Chains A and B, each alone.
Chain A
Amino acid sequence: MELPIYLDNNATTPLDPRVLEAMLPYFTNKFGNAASRNHAFGWVAEEGVDYAREQVAKLIGCTEKEIIFTSGATEADNLGIKGVYEMYADKGNHIITATTEHKAILDTCKHLEKQGARVTYLKVKEDGLIDLAELEAAMTPETILVTIMYGNNEIGVIQPIKEISAIAHKHGALFMTDATQAVGKIPVDVNADGIDLMAFSAHKMYGPKGVGALYVRRKNPRVKVTSQIDGGGHERGMRSGTLNVPGIVGLGKACELCRLEMDEEAKRLSALRDKLEAALTTMEESYVNGNTEHRLPHVANISFKYVEGEGLMMAMKDLAVSSGSACTSASLEPSYVLKSLGLSDDLAHSSIRFGLGRFTTEEEVDYAIENTKKAVNHLRDLSPLWEMFKEGIDLSKIEWAEH
């Protein structure tokens, strides 16, 4: 076992060697521009792109023509939201999303608010799921788009996508989902789920960074988005720019592997995750954040009360994890996702996210359990709050000097 151990697979995943192998020829002898229609170099590149498009489509149950390749999920989110907002301006200007979305969604919505959009940010319940009744109540005749993420990047909760899309459609709105954390990890079928637009990315499923896709429905209804990058009319005019052929081939291969291996892999990962979680929550005052029933198989987000996340990660120096603590971000604000669950700031500061992946072994999980326990105990020995808690002092009754 090599140290440090990578348990931050929600941030990014390592490239699967099989994906790299598929990509390599497209950097060298198959270097052609997929848009070159008049010679073999172009045809070979186009063939690679076509096969990749087919693999992506198969994974999510759509047709090849419904896939728009982008530079990643952030661009796909931007294209989906801004593209729908501009294309459907005649119908209305109202967008509904949720407070726990990724910044690629939230900041895009904020951008549109400045241009006249009205955006509703649904709150989530304590378990991280949105309230369907609140969604229903927020729908108006001007609502053109509901965009709710599939699986959350920090806590892993899976939203009730079918129910959400049904509500959106009942009121004549389109339904989009940022499925960056879900595609390739759990079965996602755009038809069964009623999805009209969907953003996702290769580097969260063992593909390369810098490539992703937007699914845009072509039938029932035919969805259109205005392009956000203009130029040579690539991707049926919705996203110009020479195709990133090696990247797209990598995304295709990553999708193919996920489709073939998902069932077993999801079982293996959830067993490992449950083992990790069960062992760590035997510690006093440790709590799992988010719904544990509707959840991605590879994520555990745990708060260890009375220790601070960044300090804790320093003690877990052989583990690469992430924290909702303020100190890990430049903003000094703890995670807005955890705060949206109603977690108090101190619990948000005390959270650690474990993201397991394809290359995580049981041996590594066992090591992580011991390493984490030791670190939590060490930090609690240093913590005045832990001492007070042990003495039975009610911390909420203390007048803290806010700063």
Chain B
Amino acid sequence: MAYSEKVMEHYTNPRNVGTLNKDSKSVGTGLVGAPECGDVMRLQIEVDDNNVITDAKFKTFGCGSAIASSSLATEWLKGKTIDEALTIDNMDIVEELALPPVKIHCSVLAEDAIKSAINDYRVKNGLEAFELAKSHH
């Protein structure tokens, strides 16, 4: 199976690889997936006082599509407000990266990682966690 050009591009030059201080109150961390399933994503956001995501970082254990999905997610998150970030849908990622059906789970994982990072930030700051309505698995 050949990869789309966009997957290759993100895979070759992944954006925003790295680690934010997970103990900081302004940082939310989402860790989703499982090693047994062949993909684990860690996505982190840094949020300012106006609820704007000023920085995003990821590290991913997984196939090229999983790496590209998380790289794209961090790119999209930067500059968005939390509310805007919550509207990112996995199908947007599928479309942007032209993922084949067998790789859709990679985009789902990226969406889960975004939501999970936002919830971690909210809980840290005394807010209630959003209910994660979609259960894809």
Contacts and interface: CB of A to CB of B under 8 A. Distances in A.
Contacts of A400: 33-36, 40
Contacts of A310: 38, 63-64
Contact of B34 (A306, A311, A401): A401
Contacts of A387: 19, 59
Contact of B59 (A311, A334, A384): A384
B39 interface: yes
Given A330-B102, A403-B137, A395 B63 contact: no
B17 interface: yes
Interface in A363-385: 381-385
Contacts, number: 92
A8 interface: no
A349 interface: yes
A308 B59 contact: no
A16 interface: no
A402 interface: yes
A345 interface: yes
A327 B7 CA distance: 15
Contact of B11 (A306, A307, A314, A383): A314
B109 A385 contact: no
B33 to A, nearest CB: 7
B103 to A, nearest CB: 8
B45 to A, nearest CB: 15
A345 B35 contact: yes
A308 B34 contact: no
B17 A402 contact: no
B67 interface: yes
A325 interface: yes
Given A311-B66, A314-B11, A384 B34 contact: no
A311 B11 CA distance: 9
A280 interface: no
Interface size class of A (residues with CB under 8 A): 20 to 34
Given A314-B64, A403-B105, A385 B40 contact: yes
B117 interface: no
Given A311-B66, A384-B40, A385-B40, A349 B35 contact: yes
A186 B112 CA distance: 51
B42 A345 contact: no
Interface string B23-63: 00000000111111111111000000000000000011111
B30 to A, nearest CB: 10
Nearest to A381: B17
Interface in A303-327: 306-308, 310-311, 314, 325-327
B38 A327 contact: yes
A349 B38 contact: yes
A384 B42 contact: yes
A11 B66 CA distance: 26
A403 B136 contact: yes
B34 A403 contact: yes
A383 B61 contact: yes
A344 interface: yes
Interface of A: 306-308, 310-311, 314, 325-327, 330, 332, 334, 344-346, 349, 381-387, 395, 398, 400-403
Interface of B: 3, 8, 11, 14, 17, 19, 31-42, 59-64, 66-67, 102, 105, 109, 112, 136-137
Top 6 nearest A-B pairs by Cβ distance?
A400-B34, A403-B137, A346-B35, A345-B36, A384-B42, A310-B63
12 contacts: A308-B39, A327-B63, A332-B105, A346-B35, A349-B38, A382-B17, A382-B67, A384-B59, A385-B61, A387-B19, A387-B59, A401-B34
